[in-house]
Amino acid sequence: MPEGRRLAFVGAGAVATGPAVPGPVRRPAWDHLGLRTGVGVGVEDGRIALLAPDEEIGEWFHAARLPDALVDCGGRLITPGLVDPHTHALFGGPRLEDHARRARGDDYKAIAAAGGGILSSVADFRSRREDDLVTLALPRLAMMAALGTTAVEIKSGYGLSVADELKALRAIARLRAHVPLEIVATFLGAHEVPADYRSRRDAYVRLVIDEMLPAVARERLATFCDVFCEPGVFDLDQSEAILKAAAARGLKLKVHADELDPFGGAELAARLGAASADHLGAISPAGIEALSASTTAAVLLPGTLLFLGKSRQAPARALLDAGAVVALATDFNPGSSPSANLPLMMTLAVSQARMQPEEAFIAATVNAAHAVRLGDGRGRLVVGGSADLVVWNCRDVRELAYWYGMPLAWRVYASGSPCLGGGWGISSAGSAGTVLSPPMS
């Protein structure tokens, strides 16, 4: 937003600031939501300048050199913008046939044999130009923002060659110039072994370590390095070798761990001090113990297992009760989770994984920010922090995980710039803001 511009939000039914102190939350409780009534939010130059009684906010706004917008929230709820710490949002086309085949009972091997699966996304990705990929990603990010997400991690991993992985990360870097969202880039060259390396997997690991990682580090294209650590993809030794090489080049670490088998990925992530271990559908008791004794976030992706038709979910209850830092993400990708709806993941966390609504809220805000090591007050509303906030078409925090699949965001701001309701992205015409008014409750 332009310098000196002031925005003010008054008339909120409640403001949930999140916890007063920085850092992840273990064993989230209602108090961590930081619920306040009778207060509003003042924003100047993209940062939160004031959290104060409405009257004070009004006076402060009208004293501005450049008053921009005074938003009457009409009794709605204000929260921090949501943080989606695990997506594969840069991809080519959807995989519609895979979805239909799964419904006919085909497993992933049959789907791959029929020309589908992740390698079809790789072939599609390689055939596209960087410009095309940027163009495809923009409306998806607009959709994501319209649902309340203001910061998002995006992984490479459909290139699987030096040139195509760099193409992915350069495209992700270019997205930042187009959207006000905070974007965190992750290098996932070890997402899968490409077809031409299937008979020499170690050679592909060497390609990742010796050629991809140095190029990614040289161009400073990624904050994180991630590895798909699963039986038949990258084993524990290969994963560790890649992650250690990434750490030596200054990248922070993430691990796709224990999705379908208890493979030891969570323990590896904790031992290497990774920022997060993600999926964890089949995490072992030892893995739960390792994560709870570490600062490695457990990032759960309940939409993925649901979309794949699995009846099982990650043991969220055991992780939370053991004191692990639990976060939620969409895993937005064309194969196993074609949804960018993080509030929907909050619903699934409650209804499928037995999390409490306040636990789901913390998992999609402050703990999600921790999982991608975002500072600057992200995932919380704090004076001096980035003005990432959502005004919701509801009054109670528990409603975010309740009206499932519904577009509940009424106004969304990232770094003080509007993402929904008269700004960038999806226009307010036809948005939740005009359809659902007044609030749902």
Q: Where do contacts with Zn ion occur on this chain (CB under 5 A)?
A: 331
- Closer CB to Zn ion, residue 165 or residue 331? 331
Minimum distance of Zn ion from residue 305's CB (angstroms): 12
The answer to whether the CB of 117 falls within 8 A of the CB of 335 is yes
Contact (CB, 8 A) for 287 and 259? no
Q: How far is the CB of 278 from Zn ion (least distance, A)?
A: 6
- Beta carbons within 10 angstroms of residue 357's beta carbon: 20
Q: Report the nearest approach of Zn ion to the CB of residue 247 (Å).
A: 20
Residue 183 φ then ψ, to 5°: -120, 125
Cβ–Cβ contacts within 10 Å for residue 218, how many? Answer: 9
Tokens of 294: 């570490």
Alpha carbon 293 to chain centroid, angstroms: 23
Length of the chain: 441
Distances from the Cα of 283 to the Cα of 232, 299, 359, angstroms: 17, 12, 20
Q: Which lies closer to Zn ion via its Cβ, residue 331 or residue 399?
A: 331
Q: Closest distance between Zn ion and the C-beta of residue 228, in Å?
A: 8
CA 210 to chain centre: 29
Which residue, 306 or 387, has its beta carbon nearer to Zn ion?
A: 306
Phi, psi at residue 279, to the nearest 5°?
A: 90, -90
Of 264 and 281, which has the nearer Cβ to Zn ion? 281
Q: What angle do CA 76, 78, 81 make, to 5 degrees?
A: 135
Closest approach of Zn ion to the CB of residue 156, in Å: 11
The two tokens of residue 423 are 């700004």
Tell me how far, at minimum, the Cβ of 414 lies from Zn ion, in Å: 23
Q: Which residue has the tokens 């990432």?
A: 388
Residue facing Zn ion at closest CB distance: 331
How many H-runs (helices) and E-runs (strands) does the chain carry?
Answer: 17, 18
Least distance to Zn ion, CB of residue 36, Å: 36
Choose between 301 and 408: whose C-beta lies nearer to Zn ion.
301
- Comparing CB distances to Zn ion, the nearer of 334 and 425 is 334
CA distance 224 to 372: 8
Q: Tokens 């079809």 map to which residue? A: 120
Distance between CA atoms of 363 and 418, rounded to whole angstroms? 24
Q: Considering the complex, what minimum distance in angstroms separates the CB of residue 424 from Zn ion?
A: 26
CB-wise, 40 or 281, nearer to Zn ion? 281
Residues paired with 225 in a beta bridge: 187, 253
Q: To the nearest whole angstrom, how small is the minimum distance from the Cβ of residue 168 to Zn ion?
A: 14
- How many CB atoms neighbour CB 51 within 10 A? 20
Task: CB nearer to Zn ion: give 230 or 331.
Answer: 331
| Complex with Zn ion: residue 68 or 331, whichever CB lies closer | 331
Cα distance between residue 441 and residue 439, in whole Å: 6
